[in-house]
Every structure is written in C-alpha cells, then in structure tokens.
Amino acid sequence: MKCWKDQCENKLEFTCSCTNPPTYSCDEHIVAHMKTASNSRHLPDPLTISPNPETKRALIDCLHKSLSNLYELRRKTVLDFSMQIKQINEKMKIALESFDDSIKNQRKIISQIKTIKVISNGSKTEIDEMLVSEPEIAIKLLKDSFDIFIDQTSL
Ligand SMILES: [Zn+2]
Ligand SMILES: [Zn+2]
C-alpha cells in the first residue's frame, strides 16, 4: 500500500473510507486528500497510534507496578485462605473429637445400664421418676453409682 499521492514514499499514517477500498495517505498528504472532491464524506482514521517512547516507558512501568501488586495480593490471598482452612480444620478436629468422646461415653453408659441389675422391691424409685422427667441427670446418677459399684467389685 502506498500514499494516494503519486510518487509519495512517506510512511502511511491514515486511511480514509471515502473510497472502497479505502484510500491510504501519509501525514503530509492527508490534508490535501481531505480537500479533494469525493462522492462520499472523507472519514480519515489514524492507522497506528504511536506514543512517544517516554509515554510508552511510563505506561509499562505503571503496568509492571500493578502487576507486582497483583502478585503480592495473590500471594497474600493464598496465605490468608490457607490459614483459614488450617484453622477450620483444627476446629473441625476438636469438634469431632468432642463428638467422638460423647458418642463413646453414651455407648458405654448404654451398655452399662443394660448390665445393671436393679435390686428393688418392685415399687418406683427416685431414679425411675427421674428417668422420665430428667433423663440426663438420672443417667449420670446411674452411671456414677455403676462406676462406684465397678470400683467396689473390682477390688
Ligand atoms: Zn503522501
Ligand atoms: Zn477521503
């Protein structure tokens, strides 16, 4: 592609869509082209945007700075989430251990209660009433007395 002006060897800077295919022009001849008669309007567009080297360098510096900020932010985010995941895992471990302890205890209590031989005269005891109204306390009392019973018998 060459400038519309005959013999012109200048660098192409503009394209004008007044013709099809578009007319190309150098910087020097674009004004002259605009003054030529045309069937359709002259609509010149710069072919390239060439900022001066200083602007280019400033722009690249700015982008590099932004890039290193992004890297730093990314690193911090990974670190932050890793910490949170670690904390959540620790909390879950503690919670599960506590559940496991409770489950173990309750299973032990259930099997202990099953093996208790209640010696009573057939009438309802205080424990019987409590098992209905306050089962947790009753179970604890039963368990405690059973533990004492075990301690005594194992001697
Ligand atoms: Zn030209
Ligand atoms: Zn034109």
Does any domain span residue 2? no
Percent of the chain residues topping a pLDDT of 90: 36
Residues with Cβ within 8 Å of residue 16, at least 6 apart in sequence? 22, 23, 24, 25, 30, 33, 34, 42, 43, 44, 45
pLDDT in tens, 117-129: 655 555 666 666 6
Residue 140 is predicted with a pLDDT of: 76
pTM: 0.38
Distance from Cα 24 to the centre of ligand 1, integer Å: 8
Which residues make up the environment of ion ligand 2, defined by Cβ < 5 Å? 16, 18, 42
Higher pLDDT: 62 or 50? It is 62
Judge whether residue 137 has pLDDT over 80: no
pLDDT tens digits for range 84-125: 999 999 999 999 998 998 888 888 878 877 776 655 555 666
pLDDT of residue 141: 73
Residues 112 and 143 sit within 8 Å (Cβ to Cβ): yes
Domain membership flag for residue 5: no
Q: Averaging pLDDT over each range in 66-75, 96-105, 143-152, which range is the top one?
A: 66-75
Ligand at shortest distance from the CA of 28: 1
Which ligand is the nearest neighbour of the Cα of 40?
Answer: 2
35, 17: one domain: yes
Give domain status of residue 111, yes or no. Answer: no
* Same domain (yes/no): 39, 71: no
Q: Measure the CA–CA gap between 12 and 88, rounded to whole angstroms.
A: 64
**Cα(36) to centroid(ligand 1), Å:** 14
Region of 30 (left: φ > 0; alpha: ψ -120 to 50; beta: rest) is: alpha
Claim to verify: residue 57 and residue 100 sit in the same structural domain: yes
Q: Which residues surround ligand 1, an ion (CB under 5 A)?
A: 3, 5, 8, 10, 26, 29
| Predicted pLDDT of residue 7 | 95
User: What does 32-85 look like in DSSP terms, one character per residue?
Assistant: HHHHS--SS---EEES-----HHHHHHHHHHHHHHHHHHHHHHHHHHHHHHHHH
**Ligand nearest, relative to CA of residue 23:** 2
Q: Tell me the residue range of the domain where 38 lies.
A: 12-46
The count of structural domains within the chain is 3
Predicted confidence at residue 60, as pLDDT, reads 86
Q: In this structure, which ligand is nearest to the CA of 10?
A: 1
Domain presence at residue 69: yes
Residues 100 and 63 in one domain: yes
